[in-house]
Amino acid sequence: MDESKLDFTDEWEESALSVDAPSLIIEEDGELLHLESNLEQKHNFGSVGLVNCPIAYDSFRRMAFRYICPSGFRKEDFSQLRAFSLDRGESFSLLELPLNHWILWLFEWVASADHKSGQLFGLHAADRSMDDRIVIDHRLFVHKPGEAQLRLRPICRDAYKPLAFSRQRAELVFAGAEGVYLLGLEGERKLTLSPNIAAGGQGAAFHPSGDALIVVGGDGLHLWNLNTNQCQQLTPKGRHPVWSMNGKGIYYRESSADLHYYNFASKEAHRVIGIPKQRLPDFWHARPVCLSRDGRYLATSLTEKVLRGVSQRHTSTSANERVYSYNHQLIVLDLKQKAYWTRRGFADQLCWAD
């Protein structure tokens, strides 16, 4: 995809890089990569498998963590937590898991007060199917590197997918069978956002200061006040919300091809960047943005959807099927200098190494 196709609402300048920008850890085409500040590849740690697992990062040791598994059916089966040293360009096994166990959707490094130690926290899944019943058991876990096993905690049975985690509040947001839930760290349900409220549970984010506010994405952005358990719709469209570090606005997606920002002061939203002429946008490749710890740098992927033709093979609806190709681009925004730089490719997971 040609960088000239990017369409900015405000005045942005293409730049080689900012000297102050941290490096990035990304998952691209099923492999874990460490990128320099200019998005050039520094190290390829190899395949991490097909399970959707975020990248956890220990800034004190400059160590990344991820769950890994085979990338194909013909490869030797394994299930493992693995550590990746950015300085040495090496990786090692942290913990072997049973073959029917996974870590997915939620995975964080929670540092101690002095940042010299910490533990991993996330969602553990286990296949406990029997006879003709498929049973996938979800539990929270904590793990200190060096321990022989995970420490597991149950969660309420109908909470099935984590949307956000707050270290300040020690709480989580989950999508559940009866709406969107606020959970404590023991897995107990504390509040429920009714399914009658059109917050579809496509991403959520806690207020960065720890205030009792959560923005939920789905059928638009919705602001959930935890003190009153009331919800206010902010925008008619929007998924994968992320608060700005100062709490003054929210970055979110209206498709795989754009990035939007909602301003609380003006109560208005605008498109920050997008790919023009996207007549059939979708969310297939939309992901939440990743902000650096100081809030200055934003990284995300944009995807151009291009119609290549119409298949002559009839589908179940007796209509010819449209064939699309997808052009991906990783972009970094310097929000302070209004500068950006890009790299071809799609980052399925992103983590700043700052």
Full DSSP string of 142-194: EE-TT-SS-EEEE--TTEEEEEEEETTTTEEEEEETTEEEEEETTS-EEEEE-
120 in a structural domain: yes
Residue pLDDT, tens place only, 32-65? 999 999 999 999 999 999 999 999 999 999 999 9
Residue 268 main-chain phi, psi, to 5 deg: -130, 155
How much is the pLDDT for 4?
A: 45
How much is the pLDDT for 95?
A: 97
Q: Which two tokens stand for residue 318?
A: 């007796």
Q: Which residue has the higher pLDDT, 330 or 133?
A: 330
* Residue ranges making up the domain that contains 147: 48-154
Exposure string of 88-98, with b = 16+ CB inside 10 Å and e = fewer, is eeebeebbebe
Q: Which two tokens stand for residue 309?
A: 């033709």
Residue 167 main-chain phi, psi, to 5 deg: -70, -40
pTM score > 0.85 for this model?
yes
Residue pLDDT, tens place only, 134-179? 888 999 999 999 999 999 999 998 898 999 999 999 999 999 888 8
331 in a structural domain: no
Residue pLDDT, tens place only, 3-20? 547 888 888 988 866 668
**59 by DSSP, 3-state: which?**
coil
At 108, is the pLDDT very low, low, confident or very high (cuts 50, 70, 90)?
very high
* 90 has a pLDDT exceeding 60: yes
How much is the pLDDT for 297?
A: 97
How much is the pLDDT for 73?
A: 64
166 in a structural domain: no
DSSP class of residue 21 equals: P
How much is the pLDDT for 85?
A: 98
Mention every residue, 6+ apart, whose C-beta is less than 8 A from residue 37.
17, 18, 19, 21, 22, 23
At 313, is the pLDDT very low, low, confident or very high (cuts 50, 70, 90)?
low
Average pLDDT value for residue range 270-299: 92
Residue 229 main-chain phi, psi, to 5 deg: 55, 35
68 in a structural domain: yes
How much is the pLDDT for 38?
A: 93
Count of structural domains within the chain: 1
347 in a structural domain: no
Which of 53, 34, 36 has the alpha carbon at shortest distance from 45? 34
Full DSSP string of 265-280: TTTEEEEEEE-S--SS
How much is the pLDDT for 315?
A: 56
* 76 has a pLDDT exceeding 90: no
Range scoring the smallest mean pLDDT among 169-173, 320-324, 336-340: 320-324
How much is the pLDDT for 50?
A: 92
* 318 has a pLDDT exceeding 60: no
244 in a structural domain: no
**3 by DSSP, 3-state: which?**
helix
Q: What is the mean pLDDT of the chain?
A: 91
95 in a structural domain: yes
How much is the pLDDT for 219?
A: 87
Q: Which residue has the higher pLDDT, 242 or 136?
A: 242
231 in a structural domain: no
